Amino acid sequence: MLVCGKYSLVHEFFRKVEKTSVPNTLNYKVLVNAFWREGKTDEAVLVVQDMERRGIVGSASLYYDLARCLCSAGRCQEALQQMDKICKVAKKPLVVTYTGLIQACLDSGNVQNGAYIFSQMHKFCSPNIVTFNIMIKAYIENKLFEKAKDLFQKILDGAHYISSVSDYKNRVIPDNFMFNTMLAACIEEKRWDDFEKFYRRMLHHGYHFNPKRHLWMILEASRSGKEEPLTQFVDTIQGQSLDTTWHYLIRSGQTAPVAIIKERFCMKLQEDDINGALSCLASDQMSLAHAFSEKAWLDLFNGNAYRIRKDTLVRLVDEETTT
């Protein structure tokens, strides 16, 4: 009945139970959830108070659902008051409970309340990687990039001090999901310096370059700020992520995707570095270069004409014809 959204039947069933016996904690839990889904927070609070007056000991899941109901209604202080009752009978770790309250706040569209629960959580337990991911994602989705960045930076800073198993109790190491979330946010906000820094940290932590996920980011960062024609030198920050990826792939014995080869080739020409451009097509990278037809090369040069000087192209042709 509850799952199907037939809340009137839930209330009717509860009244029948009251007439024939004493409702148990499961009956009250279902009723609380029905009121929650109906948006009747006051009624949910009253029914739990009625249960307590009858001397029925509520389960941890019942008080947890009531607390989440209160969070959904923006009544965070009342929700936190349920924690004492939850702790008396709970089997789940506190971090799971607090994370659930945070999620309830966020699901109702209130990131400020979620942040408040998050701050209160630190007084009693340490957030885990799931909690941090939820908060960072919420900040980003609500256009609070600086808050997401600050929180992520604290996690990165804390990861420096992990030297033994016991350190994991109070600190976490960012996971692949967190890095990808922050990298995508940096691209969205055009924060190229942050993107480069976090991208390097991702590789440092042992996570790999994933063409399906990261290729578009690298190309976006590399091509940013190149609307001005014939800029001779690529911005240091904007070109770094491409070079970082290039050298990472070489060290790991991988062949760079065609898009990476093309972009680095054009970037080196933009820097007037003929030898650097030709090196992109050298050694094992040449296996992919053969896939370039004459039309593909013409399209590449035409599409990047605003970046590459004519005299650079002339020198490129001269260099090729003399080798």
pLDDT of residue 283: 55
pLDDT of residue 229: 44
pLDDT of residue 234: 46
pLDDT of residue 232: 43
pLDDT of residue 15: 86
What's this model's pTM, rounded to 2 decimal places?
0.86
List, for residues 238-265, the tens digit of each pLDDT value: 568 999 999 999 999 888 898 999 999 9
C-beta of residue 171 within 8 angstroms of C-beta of residue 158: yes
Helices (H), 22-169: 25-38, 41-53, 60-72, 76-81, 83-89, 94-107, 111-121, 129-141, 145-159
pLDDT under 50 in the chain at which residues? 227-234, 236
Contacts of 107 (CB under 8 A, 6+ apart): 72
pLDDT of residue 230: 44
